[in-house]
Chain A
Amino acid sequence: MIMKNSKNIEIYQGCQNCELTSTNVRIKNLKRTKKLTIALVGQPNSGKSTFFNSLSNYKVNTANYPGTTVGFNSTTIYVKDYQVEILDLPGLYSLNYSDLAEKITFEILTNSDKSFKIDGIIQVIETASLPHSLLLTMDLITLDIPIVIALNMFDEARIKGINVNIPKLQEIFNLPVIPTISIKGENTFLTVLKLIELIEKTRKNHSIDSRSKLSESNKDQQNYKLPDMTNQKLTYYNDEKINNLLYKIHFSENELPYIVKNYKEIWKKLMKDIFQSTDCHIENCKVIPACLMNIEKIAPNMISLANIRDELLKLKSNIITSISSFVFSLGEPKPTFDDLVDKYVLSKKSGYFILFGIFFIAFYLAYFTGNFTADKMEIIFGFFDNYISNFSENLGILKPLIDGIKDGIFGGIGIVIPYLIPFIFFMSLLEDSGYIPRMMYLVNDFLKPFGITARSVLGFVLGLGCNVSAIMSLRGAMNNNERILAGMVIPFITCSARTVVLMALVVGYLGALWGIFMYILAFTVAFTMLLIINKFLKFSMQSFMIHIPSYRFPSLKNILSKVWLRFKSFVYSAWPVLILGTITINYISYFQIDGYINSFLSFFTTKLLGLPDETGIPLIFGILAKEYALVMLFSAFGTQDIKSVMTNLQIFTFCVFMLLYTPCLSTIAVQTREIGLKYTIYSIILSFLSATLISFMLNKLIQIWKIL
């Protein structure tokens, strides 16, 4: 049971050489010569990243939907005389991975990815989903790596009336089980300490790595026969007691520790048979039985093995059902808050109304607060702007440098940040509430004609923030075709950088309705592209399955940390390039090279799209990052009052083209890595062609209709 403030006391008890700070455990005067690598492993949405953040002082993004972490993150903490590297791995349901994110975890745990050798595992379990999570526990115990179970979100489970018999769970698995509340940082360090103790104890007991023993035995060239399946019964273990237990549906309290202990040996024996009785060359599976989980992927023709595997999986499910009956109780059933809210949120009548309402309010508030802040910023920085401009007037060749730094800094503070921060804030609220998976459920049926499932909708929603993280999130897609299809189209979604340009130019000069039109246009183009690509590439229909998490009231601390994390990313990565870009454009202008570049592009910008010559360079810089197009536009015209240098139609055409054309460099890089160069090139060509065609057509139509 968790006691308030028990963390500090227990950590001091466990680690005499540690001093506890609010965020970290640090070592006093000890050489940190020993290194350990600890993996945080758990099912999706079990709170691994929140657990990681409590150890690392908020380093990674978290959200309330499955599959937030699609790559792995690491941090180093110092505990006792160890330098401990903590890895936050993508969630997986079992060692039978079904998507690319899960595969990353599988490869690290099984040592197929040689970059890491995992010394210990903390399995983070959402307490309320304990029975389901034990599926993964049963797999992890076959790895021969010390494990500690962290029963996370223990407080939430208590509120729901869920009871867990922790001593019994410890007894059955013979593993330490620690209740944790990672969002408050309770018992997270204690869990690390317990794992280190376990690793030390295991190392003392097993001086020879048991994994190397297994791999040695695999080299044995004796001929084994495949297990006899004629009676559809498994007889793998030379212990009659185990063989008798294999087909039991329910195990008694006394049988469970015994069967769990020997379950690992059953797998090992089976693996030994496979290695030694077949010609099947199983890559990356020299170490553990886990590869049998993925037998269809590794050796598709070995159906008999898949059947055996399925029998063993049924054994596993029988074991966990039995364990759950002894250690887990749901308490008094009563209608939950989720049931009450879902009645309206998922209803056919009100569900879609709520969906559009939420997004409309989020964007409106982001726009409103952004506009308000931008106005105030303009007043504050207007004074400095004039002062610095006057100061740099007589500086000769240094003038472009000073002006460039000023434009870059003020462009960031005055334009990008006011719109970016409220937008990130509202996106974070949505992410943490648990609404996004429900939105997926609502829209899934409508996506079928487009060849994608609601899994990709997550990418589309994240794309509103940043296309890079959106494309990364597609690692959670259940099918490779869907990943490629959505990965090609996500760059059409209006990311926050483009939102900044739209807010400042379209909404600022043309009005909010034109801003909404731009969003609808981008989504329409994206879905039309899905239809076109799907027609040519003929991808098959996709299936969809996702867990729906409980609603959670977003914690302000967590939301602010997320805003800070993303803001920091802008400050560290985008802002310096923005400043460098404005300096460059100022020097291009100073040496009068801009005229050559702009006249070279003038056929396209002036003749075709009807834009001023000066827009050529900003559009080129927009490929680096979309918000640069705006700052460069100010720099190119030498004013932030764009209305004085461009007509409404030109502002509109510029924004339509900027909205749809070539993705930014970071997106192109991630696209290439995630969906391959071929499809990235297709995507770039498609976006450039569609941007040119649509902006040209809309320009002509608006001229004819005289709307602007």
Chain B
Amino acid sequence: MNIEKNKVYRIKKITENYPLYMNYGLIEGNLIKIIDKISTGKTIYLEIIGFNRKLALSDELINNIILEDVKNTEFTDDNEK
């Protein structure tokens, strides 16, 4: 899935090593917002919205997360206002 900057996604499923992702707050059902992708786009900076946590992680790890696009109607990013 091609993730885009400033978009909000819901974590649908973690396909591998669930406890590790959970440790960092990446839990099924949580909303994440992609804040930035660094130059080559292989390291991603995101915010776990409900946990008030910011996280940097490499693309191999994000590949183990099945994300679903959250439509604007479902989630209003108040920070953008």
* A411 at the B interface (CB under 8 A): no
* B58 at the A interface (CB under 8 A): yes
How near does chain A come to B63, taking the closest CB pair, in angstroms? 10
CA distance A131 to B27 in the complex (A): 12
Which residues of chain A from 534 to 551 have a CB within 8 Å of any chain B CB? 541, 543-548
CA distance A93 to B48 in the complex (A): 15
- A interface residues, Cβ below 8 angstroms from B: 93-94, 96, 98, 128-129, 131-132, 135, 162, 249, 293, 309-310, 313-314, 317, 321, 324, 330, 333-335, 338-339, 342, 346, 348, 437, 440-442, 444-445, 448, 453-454, 541, 543-548
- B interface residues, Cβ below 8 angstroms from A: 18-20, 22-25, 27-29, 35-36, 38-40, 42-43, 45, 48, 50-58, 60-61, 78-79
Tell me if A93 and B24 are in contact (CB < 8 A).
Answer: yes
How near does chain A come to B54, taking the closest CB pair, in angstroms? 4
CA distance A244 to B39 in the complex (A): 49
The interface residues of chain A lying within 8 Å CB-to-CB of B43 are 441, 444-445, 454, 544
Tell me if A98 and B23 are in contact (CB < 8 A).
Answer: yes
The interface residues of chain A lying within 8 Å CB-to-CB of B27 are 317, 321
**Contact of A310 with B52 at beta-carbon distance under 8 Å, contacts A96-B23, A132-B25, A339-B79 already known:** no
How near does chain A come to B16, taking the closest CB pair, in angstroms? 11
The 10 closest A-B pairs by CB, nearest first: A93-B23, A333-B78, A441-B56, A96-B19, A548-B54, A545-B57, A544-B58, A132-B51, A444-B43, A317-B27
**Contact of A543 with B61 at beta-carbon distance under 8 Å, contacts A317-B29, A548-B45 already known:** yes
Tell me if B24 and A94 are in contact (CB < 8 A).
Answer: no
How near does chain A come to B32, taking the closest CB pair, in angstroms? 13
How near does chain B come to A171, taking the closest CB pair, in angstroms? 22
CA distance A507 to B45 in the complex (A): 39
CA distance A92 to B38 in the complex (A): 27
In chain A, what residue has the closest Cβ to B40?
A445
CA distance A452 to B76 in the complex (A): 38
In chain B, what residue has the closest Cβ to A98?
B20
Tell me if A545 and B55 are in contact (CB < 8 A).
Answer: yes
**Contact of A541 with B60 at beta-carbon distance under 8 Å, contacts A317-B27, A442-B38, A445-B42 already known:** yes
Tell me if A131 and B51 are in contact (CB < 8 A).
Answer: yes
How near does chain A come to B76, taking the closest CB pair, in angstroms? 10
What are 28 A-B interface contacts by the 8 Å CB criterion?
A94-B19, A96-B19, A98-B20, A129-B52, A131-B52, A132-B25, A132-B51, A132-B53, A135-B23, A310-B19, A314-B28, A317-B27, A317-B28, A321-B27, A321-B29, A321-B50, A330-B52, A335-B79, A346-B36, A346-B38, A441-B43, A445-B39, A544-B56, A544-B57, A545-B57, A547-B24, A547-B53, A548-B54
Q: Of B18, B23, B58, B79, which is within 8 A of A310 by CB?
A: B18
Q: Of B18, B50, B52, B58, which is within 8 A of A545 by CB?
A: B58
Tell me if B39 and A545 are in contact (CB < 8 A).
Answer: no
How near does chain A come to B52, taking the closest CB pair, in angstroms? 6
CA distance A495 to B52 in the complex (A): 36
CA distance A444 to B61 in the complex (A): 13
In chain A, what residue has the closest Cβ to B55?
A547
CA distance A346 to B44 in the complex (A): 11
In chain B, what residue has the closest Cβ to A438?
B56
**Contact of A440 with B56 at beta-carbon distance under 8 Å, contacts A314-B28, A445-B38, A445-B43 already known:** yes
Tell me if B22 and A548 are in contact (CB < 8 A).
Answer: no
The interface residues of chain B lying within 8 Å CB-to-CB of A545 are 20, 24, 55-58, 61
Tell me if A346 and B50 are in contact (CB < 8 A).
Answer: no
How near does chain B come to A42, taking the closest CB pair, in angstroms? 13
Tell me if B45 and A441 are in contact (CB < 8 A).
Answer: yes
The interface residues of chain A lying within 8 Å CB-to-CB of B52 are 128-129, 131-132, 162, 330
The interface residues of chain A lying within 8 Å CB-to-CB of B38 are 346, 348, 441-442, 444-445
